[in-house]
Amino acid sequence: MIIGTGVICLRANWVHSLKEKRMIVQSLTTRVKNKFNVSIAEIEDQDLHQSIVLGVVCVSNEVRHANEVIQKVMNFIENNTDAIVDEITIEII
Q: Kindly report the CATH number assigned to the domain that includes residue 64.
A: 3.30.70.1120
pLDDT of residue 11: 96
Give the β-pairing of 51-60 and 39-44. antiparallel
| Domains identified in the chain, total number | 1
Give the β-pairing of 84-92 and 39-44. unpaired
Range of the domain at 50: 2-92
pLDDT of residue 16: 93
pLDDT digits (tens, 9 = 90+) for 20-64: 999 999 999 999 999 999 999 999 989 998 999 999 999 999 999
Strand order in the sheet with 39-44: 39-44, 51-60, 2-11, 84-92
